[in-house]
A = this chain, B = another copy of it.
Amino acid sequence: MHSPELLKGTLQTILLKVLKDHGRMYGYEITQRVKELSESQLLLTEGALYPALHKLEAEGILKTETVMIGKRVRKYYSLTSTGRSLAKDRVEELVDFIKTMSNVLQVKLA
């Protein structure tokens, strides 16, 4: 597992990216998908995830639908059109940042 320090500032971009690719997801599903993509290296904590989702919703970047599964509530998040545009920008920005970091660390990434 990575020291969570490094994760700071990247959570929002990760959320936008997986929602961009999957269309509609609920919180728990996102944690599982990120775990899968990262080969268990990135484990999103709920204390970070839900506030981040709520913030993005409040900003009009995400929209939600609530669905009942049996007696259980499931809340789906998806990108608004604003969100789709932002997702693209944020991912580009993070990719760019990663490249810059690689230069600073003077490492080649296969």
Contact = CB atoms under 8 A, between A and B. Distances in A.
Interface in A1-24: 2-3, 5-10, 13-14, 17-18, 21
Q: How large is the interface on A (under 10, 10 to 19, 20 to 34, 35 or more residues)?
A: 35 or more
B2 A37 contact: no
A22 to B, nearest CB: 12
A97 B17 contact: no
Interface stretch (A51-59, A63-71, A72-80, A99-107): A99-107
Contact of A10 (B17, B91, B101): B101
Contacts of A42: 100, 104
A85 interface: no
Interface of A: 2-3, 5-10, 13-14, 17-18, 21, 34, 37-39, 41-42, 91, 93-107, 109
